[in-house]
Amino acid sequence: MATEIKAPVFPESVADGTIVNWAKQPGEAVSRDELLVEIETDKVVLEVVAPADGVIKEIRKDLDATVLSDEVIAIFEEGATGTTAAPASEETSAAASSSEEETVQVGDKILSPAARKMADENGLDVAKLTGTGKGGRVTKEDVQKAVQSGAAKATPAAAPAVEINVAAGERVEKRVPMSRMRQTIAKRLVEAQQTAAMLTTYNEVDMKPVMELRKKYKDMFEKKHNGTRLGFMSFFVKAAAEALKRFPDVNASIDGGDIVYHGYYDIGVAVSTERGLVVPILRDTDTMSLADVESTIGEYAKRGREGKLGIADMTGGTFTITNGGVFGSLMSTPILNAPQTAILGMHKIQERPMAVNGQVEIRPMMYLALSYDHRMIDGKDAVQFLVTIKELLEDPARILLEV
């Protein structure tokens, strides 16, 4: 029975997508739920899987083609028998295991042909595989274990790898296409600067109270919450949620000639991936515990690295937090994530001499930056909002007590 394979239904904010990979070709056998095609949109890469066992009868949208929401991209024949590669012979003797004709070397790893084929089909990073065969050779069984455990998964590439080997005296250039996601990021950042009256106010926070609290309870926290680690981001998210309650203008957005005040606190946390910067949303952060925040961020980060974040994960949001400190940034000016009217920038924790009760002490300090849209937020409110976050972090008990 012939079935139409369609592009996913895109949300209103996504106009179309681009086909970036056909995992299967016409006539090739496909199992139910096996990946057929990957479609890149402005925000994420979407996967379309096989509805049943069968074969692709016809591909109607080639690689790099633009597709619309719910558009037919291929014809699938359910129950049909397709071609498959002949299964590689199993290693049954020591002589076969040591034969040069039956091994493939990738970097410092030696694999059987069957193992190499299976690793490629499942997108595994060969360098992460552990070999249990003779001389450390990676066998088919080793790859099967890695597939089942989810280990050795390769990180999805954002674009063709850029490697420029320049000999002495040469002047070399290499041109590669900008990914759809990178184009969209560039477009929206420019639009944010052109349409908003963006200003940035700065402050600094003494991180010693949070660091001492984290040090005291991190082991107990991890044990109680099934391995979830207590990081710094959860404190910032909860402090921001409390500050947003007190300053509703910072939690609002501008829609044409209207101001939209949000009665909920959905905070986006910027996550860097191989494909670019994405901002998954933490919903109703005012009701989340520190453990909820940490576990959700961890799950988002994992799915972001694997390219598994969905459009729904990044839709909406009333405020954003970005952390350049993980890359060593001491101070920066974050750009607004439209249509939001404010974004908080965290930075590197650095020890500096500070005056404390008339004495000079070395304290772990962090610069904070709040970029805001002056059309919506007055400077006084922006400064007081940032001071509120500073005060909550320097006395973290206030976060839990909401005082």
Cβ atoms of 317 and 349 closer than 8 Å: no
125 is catalytic: no
Cβ atoms of 37 and 48 closer than 8 Å: yes
268 three-state secondary structure: strand
Q: Which of 33, 219, 284, 378 is catalytic?
A: 378
DSSP 8-state secondary structure symbol assigned to residue 134: G
| Beta-carbon contacts of residue 44 (< 8 Å; ≥ 6 apart) | 181, 278, 307, 309, 310, 311, 313, 314
Cis peptide before 160 (omega within 30 of 0): no
Please name which of 317, 322, 373 lies closest in space to residue 344, comparing C-alpha atoms.
322
Tell the burial category of 157 from Cβ atoms under 10 Å away from its Cβ (0-12, 13-18, 19+): exposed
Pairing type for strands 319-323 and 342-346 reads parallel
374 is catalytic: yes
Strand partners, 364: 351
Cβ atoms of 46 and 74 closer than 8 Å: no
CB < 8 Å & 24+ apart, contacts of 119-122:
119/143, 119/146, 119/152, 122/147
Cβ atoms of 23 and 36 closer than 8 Å: yes
Cα 303 to the chain's mean position, in Å? 6
C-alpha to C-alpha distances, 71 to 4, 5, 66, 356, nearest whole angstrom:
9, 8, 10, 64
Please name which of 348, 351, 376, 349 lies closest in space to residue 361, comparing C-alpha atoms.
351
Q: Which of 33, 219, 374, 395 is catalytic?
A: 374
Q: Which residues are known to be catalytic?
A: 374, 378
